[in-house]
Amino acid sequence: MLRIRLITILAAISLLHALPASAQKGALSFESTLWNFGTISESEGSVMHTFSFRNHGSSTIRLDRVSVSCSCVKVYMGETSFGPGESGELSVSFNPDGLSGDQQKTVTIFTDGPKYTLEIRGKIVNQRVNDGYAVNLGNGLRARTMDIRFGVIYPGERFLRVLSLWNTSDKAVEVSAMGMPSSVTVFGTGSIPAGEMADLSLVFELPSSSTAYGSLSEKFWLNVNGTPLTKPVSISARCIERTERSASVKPRMELSSKELILKKFFWQSAASASIEISNSGTGPLRVHKVETEGVSECSLASGTVVPAGRSVKLSVSVAGDSGTVRIFTNDPVRPYMEIPCKAK
């Protein structure tokens, strides 16, 4: 008798495990747990999909809460309790604002039984990025770039560049500048209406008495709606001496080669080479600044003066594969020269 009862119990357990999930307690069956929106246009705003399901279990199941993998995803539920055989729907919206490229987000549904995971995908086409406003500053504000390059500037003169902004939100944003360097002035800050574009004018000016020749870099920060941005606006320029080309006495810098091909022998730790820098003009050639990048040794120093008709040797050593030497002089025609250094 005991053996018969044991066989009966084992058969019941086997039958329970053999039943499909739809016949077990609290089993939701979704038509699909994955939805691909395909291509999504950021400018058109949020998209939505509704997931349909049915309780194929033998008892009522209750939806307790949901968890999303991104704040850009919202979930909308109506009824939260479903008896055996009842159907329901759960809508998921996805806001593509500020995003671009392939996206994958998840929604986790917690019930009084099992938990379920839904997935949404899509590729966002960010028109604002395509229009050139690729830098997302938050609060719906975008910028073309946060790296402003002035190129060549001269002491005592003003140089203008613009920082282009676009308020893509549905509310006005207040923009101000803080931490300004003494050489840079910003005009045009204030309120940018919803959906409007604005240009901040950046003026770079050094005193006429300045001798800050060479590569210059400055930075400041934008304040958006009272909050300073963590990423600064970077400003770069190359300052050279303003020398009249029509002057009767003027220097002229000549190089024996436009690049340095460096060689390294087996007993050397760095590759090295030399070229001649000649002054073929009628006045002294003054070397205001020498800058190096990737160069371990450079024989030419800032302040070097090369008389008319004379020359100096530029010797360079590079520990790696390449480097650069930048020379700023009073040559009115070619005041700035960049010499690439390549090791072979």
CA atoms within 13 A on the CB side of 146: 16
DSSP 53: E
Contact assessment for residue 241 and residue 330, using Cβ atoms and an 8 Å cutoff: yes
DSSP 300: -
Contact assessment for residue 144 and residue 199, using Cβ atoms and an 8 Å cutoff: no
Q: Which of 16-25, 29-38, 101-110, 159-168 is the least confident region?
A: 16-25
Average of per-residue pLDDT across 16-45: 71
Name the pLDDT band for 124 (thresholds 50, 70, 90). confident
Q: Which of 109-113, 144-148, 199-203, 252-256 is the least confident region?
A: 109-113
The per-residue pLDDT for 249 is 86
Q: What is the pLDDT of residues 161-213, one digit of tens each?
A: 999 999 988 889 999 999 999 999 999 999 999 888 999 999 999 999 999 99
Average of per-residue pLDDT across 138-159: 92
DSSP string, 173-240: EEEEEES--TTEEEE--EEE-TT-EEEEEEEEE--TT----EEEEEEEEEEETTEE-SSPEEEEEEE-
Q: What is the pLDDT of residues 62-97, one digit of tens each?
A: 998 999 998 899 998 888 889 999 998 889 999 887
CA distances from 329 to 103, 156, 157, 169 (A): 52, 17, 18, 49
DSSP 14: H
The per-residue pLDDT for 26 is 60
| Phi, psi values for residue 129, rounded to 5° | -70, -45
pTM value? 0.61
Q: What is the pLDDT of residues 209-253, one digit of tens each?
A: 999 999 999 999 999 999 999 999 999 999 998 877 777 889 999
The per-residue pLDDT for 195 is 84
Name the pLDDT band for 57 (thresholds 50, 70, 90). confident
Terminal Cα distance for the chain, rounded: 93
The per-residue pLDDT for 344 is 82
Dihedral angle computed from the Cα positions of residues 80, 81, 85 and 87, in that order, rounded to the nearest 10 degrees: -20
Distance, in Å, from the CA atom of 328 to the CA atom of 335, rounded to the nearest integer, reads: 6
Average of per-residue pLDDT across 56-65: 89
The per-residue pLDDT for 127 is 65
Q: What is the pLDDT of residues 266-318, one digit of tens each?
A: 666 789 999 999 999 999 999 999 999 999 999 999 999 999 999 999 999 99
DSSP string, 78-144: S--EE-TT-EEEEEEEE--TT--EEEEEEEEEEESS-EEEEEEEEEEE-HHHHTT--EEEETTEEES
CB atoms closer than 10 angstroms to residue 119: 15
The per-residue pLDDT for 220 is 96
The per-residue pLDDT for 19 is 41
Q: Please say if the pLDDT value at position 15 is more than 50.
A: no
Please name the helix (run of DSSP H) or strand (run of DSSP E) that holds residue 10, with its range, or none. helix 2-18
Burial class (CB in 10 A: 0-12, 13-18, 19+), 258: exposed
Q: What is the pLDDT of residues 18-30, one digit of tens each?
A: 444 434 456 889 9
The per-residue pLDDT for 130 is 61
Three-point CA angle 170, 171, 172, nearest 5°: 135
Average of per-residue pLDDT across 3-24: 42
